[in-house]
A and B are shown apart, each in its own frame.
Chain A
């Protein structure tokens, strides 16, 4: 089954054209008990075809246990974006980044490949000063138009500071986890499994919350 139609393929190919560095996607799937694994893999294979700078490695969560633990994979489907040297940058998507999340997925790929957006100096300094470990979970639904903005910001923070890691969590696929974090509105942004923000907040709000942890 083709996930992307010709029109979308063409558009994405253009968006990927300026990519500078290679980006490696590590996808973790499971043989059974994972409804969306097959679709996710098919979708990522199609995306990876759209640029020769993107490569995809598919791992079996139950078999490639070491790799999964190295990249802190806890559920399936789950994927991380690695840089050209296969370094983990703390950028993860749990659940298929389709629907509106195609936008955060593309944006994070571009960021990793070195064609990201530049921030003003003060913000960069504030981000680089963060010296404690921070985990950001962004719960989303695929039909939410502004959730991808929150995911992109979280990923960008992770990219700019190695103390930060950030993950998208598709709330329908991971219902139990969403219930654990009382997600009934998206995007819900949870910091270190405690403090949270609701809605696609400006970057300043992310930083205020992180600094208050």
Chain B
């Protein structure tokens, strides 16, 4: 039983909420690495800053351990984000969490409609809404979602103790998930349609595990089951034959899609629906900046998102100063 306490409660939050009657210099939508670093840079420039985020901390909260953020050899994703948040809270930054931004009215003073029914006002906006897990898009996936098919390894892994689990994906997240789940599952099968692109240190660890079987060049075609999933069928591309693999669970770790739906029509996006930014984090719309996983900047990583958040804040600061 896990008795580790992960206290993420804090007292300040309620006292320093965004105020709809204030016109902020910048409002940051999103509280992941990009949003929090943008807040740090913006507030240090003297801007009046607000953050609206569904979940302060973002995706990194769902990451069991981070080993590639400079200065920290290895720490839990949640711990890293608590450090980020604490750092930002050294300054006067208004934060409203557990709220979703619904839509934006772009004008000289921009209006942000939030799910709590309030409308927030700002001179500039920094979009840092990150990304969400990509789906396989195969038959059976929707049907068995939450009935075997899962997207959050640290959340759902405990439900598969002693069971047989398939992980699909070839990047770091997939390999990390396989390593984590192998500790408690009976057998883990990693199924990926091409070759690995995960870091070598992770692959070395993976190959050393006895209860992990690896199927590369194998494309999942359908997820089957009754009440719960029972197996998948996949195409083994080397042998060019269809195979069936039994499993109680399938963890999908095949990358991420930008969370950009609500900005459709407001800023330009590429064909992947990533927000297009230039090297100053400017979008196609004046006064609106974007950074992190939601943008077309390649390599979705914590340090890259955080750095781009800083750029967005500095650009927003230049813009707001010129308005004055």
Contacts and interface: CB of A to CB of B under 8 A. Distances in A.
A184 B5 contact: no
Nearest to A198: B146
A145 B6 contact: yes
Contact of B1 (A39, A117, A119): A39
Interface in A1-50: 3-4, 8, 11-12, 14-15, 17-18, 35-36, 39, 43
Interface residues on B, range: 35 or more
Contacts of B98: 149
B9 A146 contact: no
A210 B75 CA distance: 40
B157 A143 contact: yes
Contact of B3 (A11, A39, A123): A39
Q: Secondary structure of the B side of the interface?
A: loop
Contacts of A12: 7, 9
Contacts of B9: 11-12, 15, 102-103, 106-107
A58 interface: no
Contacts of A96: 1, 3
A19 to B, nearest CB: 12
A98 interface: yes
A142 interface: yes
Nearest to A139: B159
A161 interface: no
Nearest to A17: B11
Given A141-B156, A142-B1, A198-B145, A184 B249 contact: yes
Most buried by B among A117, A119, A184: A184
Interface in B53-79: 55, 57, 61-62, 78
Given A122-B117, A145-B78, A184 B3 contact: no
Interface of A: 3-4, 8, 11-12, 14-15, 17-18, 35-36, 39, 43, 96, 98-100, 102-103, 106-107, 117, 119-120, 122-123, 141-147, 149, 171-173, 178, 182-186, 188, 198, 202, 204
Given A103-B6, A146-B155, 9 more contacts: A3-B5, A11-B9, A18-B11, A99-B4, A103-B8, A106-B7, A145-B6, A145-B78, A184-B228
